[in-house]
Structure 1
Amino acid sequence: MRDRAARMRAGLKEHGTPGNVADPRISVDLAHLRVLQAKARRITFLPRQPARSILNGRHASRLRGRGLNFEELRQYLPSDDVRAIDWKVTARTGTPHVRIFTEERDRPTLIVVDQRMSMFFGSELNMKSVTAAQCAALSAFRIHDQGDRVGGIVFGDQAIAEIRPGRSRRSLDAFLTALADANSLLSAEAPVSTPMPLNQVLKSVARIAKRDHLVLVFSDFDETDALTHKLVAGISRHNDLVLGLVSDPYTDTLPKGRRIVVSDGTLQAEIDTGDTKVHRRLTEMAKGRLAEVLDWQRLYGIPVLPLTTARDSVEQMAHYMGLAGRRL
């Protein structure tokens, strides 16, 4: 009975999964997430992006890569790049000097994943929560394989888990475990609670990722306001920020002529989408939120990945990262 309402909500048939096995379209566990490791090779988060990637230089933003550490100040040698000359020191000493920098060994990455009840919805293939979890796991595996530090913030309606970026497998496993645990709390019978504000999570992101981080956020971005804009702009100013906007076709194109029962777990109401005014207002509200987040790419130069529950997560990530033709 636990998942019956969820299957109905997602439009899934009950005979699709054996009795005790969780339907991976509704929920994911740690074993399911680990299976994605091999498939993660089809994407890349390195600064040099494939030609078709949404993160390459042709788009509003690109990944800047790892930072530089100051190594030494020494006299100029014929093999040195003239662009490295420190003209102030050269003028003061009378002999050419260059500043030597080395690339940082790795770059910290913070993967933020929304697992609130607003994400527990899906009308075709997956729940939004599953799509977000899968895309986050794919990203974590690939970034770890590239040698960068991986951490994250996983949040639901009541709890938030923070995993500081680390280069060890233990850090990666801690993130995946937190993701699986948060996803397991979502069900049609979950108790009613006030959802955690997205702004609270973004404040945590700003506190941890002060600068030179890669920050990935997978969410439906439910309930944004002026403060959300300010926080997003601030995070992107000092970091590489990529947004995974997760949506569902049902909310993108609300069907007409249906009576839909909506509930917060305690109260419920019936909405008649056959009413032209009601349908128009609901459609405008849904499309307005999506358009607002997509417009952040223009306003702040932030790449936005328009992810949908109707498509396989691996295929979508491969498509946006420019490696759609590569198969394993």
Structure 2
Amino acid sequence: MQQTDLKTRNQLEHLNPKGAYAELGNLLRLRFAAKDLRLFAPRAVKSQLNGAERTRFRGRGMDFEEVRLYQAGDDVRSIDWRVTARTQVPHTKLYREERERPVYIFVDQRASLFFGSQHCFKSVLATHIGSNIAWAALNNGDRIGGLVFGDTNQRDIKPRRSKHAVLELLHQLHEFNHQLNSPIASPDAKKLVSVLSDARRIAKPGCALFIVSDFHDYDQSCEQQLFELARHTDVTLIHVFDPLEQALKSNARLSVSDGVNRLQLPTDNAEFQQAYENAFNDHLGFLSNSAKRLGITLLSYATADNLQLMLRERFAAKK
């Protein structure tokens, strides 16, 4: 048993994100890793969409199941008039009750994610998380749609229950990822609040919405947009970060540059190190408290994490 677990662990290690850019072949191979993931526990959904996810909600589905004698209280719209005319006894059609939960995946590929100090860049980590979710949703028979957004453009993927929807998402992730070349955003770069506003237009009531970002510009205006989203959709925020953003410790001063200006940071100063760490924790605390207030799930993954094992800790299918 231990040998099998070790073998599986080693196989998963090869599927973890690496490097400054995502490779399409690696995103495609995540399909095999996602077989073990289940995004949702069975439960009632918030809308009356028809589909493959059974719930306690009572209503008319899309798949015909059988004809039986009409009973008091049956919907008269379901009467089978042909059978009724033939038998001279009222009969009604029964439909298999079904519901579905379309999955929308929003992945941030803006300049701020083009950074990493361990294993991979945040942008690469985000593409792997989005790809895992997409493959897991496909394996569950859900419709998959989403949005990939950079600093100046974005691409919508219409929800479909097919491998083509996942492949389109992966190709867009790969394309946007390879357009990144600097962690310095342009002055007119897209803000997260505008993306969340678009999400209210794109994500349909009752769907599951996964948003993968570093949330560096998350503020109260973003919380208001999430409040409106969370009223009708199941939102999961997935925060990606690099350990160097969490803590910056050095025995010597470090210099940073944006390609034009150079600044020396007092990273050898304990007070500066503490202030730097506090700034990260304060922003993450604001994001966490915001998610709690709205009843939204917040997950957080670092570029140094073993992503595949951590995804299994959260989404592993129960046997």
**Pair in the same fold by TM > 0.5:** yes
Q: Of the candidates 213, 221, 224, which is equivalent to residue 219 of structure 1?
A: 213
Q: How does 1:299-310 map to 2 (within 5 A)?
A: 299-310=293-304
Q: Of the candidates 207, 217, 230, which is equivalent to residue 236 of structure 1?
A: 230
2:45 is the alignment partner of 1:71: no
Give the gaps of 5 or more residues in structure 1: 1-22, 49-62, 78-99
Give the distance between the partners of 1:66 and 1:233, measured in 2 at CA. Answer: 15
TM-score (norm 2): 0.75
Q: Of the candidates 292, 301, 310, which is equivalent to residue 298 of structure 1?
A: 292
User: Which residue does the alignment assign to 1:158?
Assistant: 152
| Contact 1:158/1:193 (8 A) holds in 2 | no
Give the distance between the partners of 2:101 and 2:245, measured in 1 at CA. Answer: 37
Give the distance between the partners of 2:187 and 2:180, measured in 1 at CA. Answer: 12
| Contact 2:196/2:225 (8 A) holds in 1 | yes
| Amino acid corresponding to residue 237 of structure 2 in structure 1 | L
Offset at residue 192 of structure 1 (A): 5.0
Q: How does 1:1-328 map to 2 (within 5 A)?
A: 24-48=18-42, 64-65=44-45, 67-68=47-48, 70-71=59-60, 75-76=72-73, 102-104=97-99, 106-188=100-182, 194-322=188-316
Give the distance between the partners of 1:261 and 1:207, measured in 2 at CA. Answer: 43
Give the distance between the partners of 1:133 and 1:65, measured in 2 at CA. Answer: 27
Offset at residue 243 of structure 1 (A): 0.8
| Contact 1:273/1:279 (8 A) holds in 2 | yes
Structure with greater Cα Rg: 2
TM-score (norm 1): 0.74
| Contact 1:192/1:265 (8 A) holds in 2 | no
Q: Report the secondary structure of 2:218's partner residue.
A: coil
Runs of 4+ displaced beyond 6 Å: none
Identity %: 27
Give the distance between the partners of 2:71 and 2:126, measured in 1 at CA. Answer: 49
| Contact 2:46/2:233 (8 A) holds in 1 | no
Offset at residue 210 of structure 1 (A): 3.7
Give the gaps of 5 or more residues in structure 2: 1-16, 51-58, 62-69, 75-94
| Contact 1:215/1:239 (8 A) holds in 2 | yes
| Amino acid corresponding to residue 164 of structure 1 in structure 2 | K
Q: Report the secondary structure of 2:216's partner residue.
A: coil
Aligned positions, number: 267
Classify 1:258/1:150 alpha carbon distance in 2 versus 1 (closer, same or farther; 3 Å). Answer: farther
Q: Report the secondary structure of 1:187's partner residue.
A: coil
Give the distance between the partners of 1:66 and 1:171, measured in 2 at CA. Answer: 24
Q: CA RMSD in A?
A: 2.8
Q: Report the secondary structure of 2:147's partner residue.
A: strand
Offset at residue 29 of structure 1 (A): 2.4
Greater RCO structure (CA 8 Å; 6+ sep): 1
Offset at residue 272 of structure 1 (A): 1.3
| Contact 1:108/1:150 (8 A) holds in 2 | yes
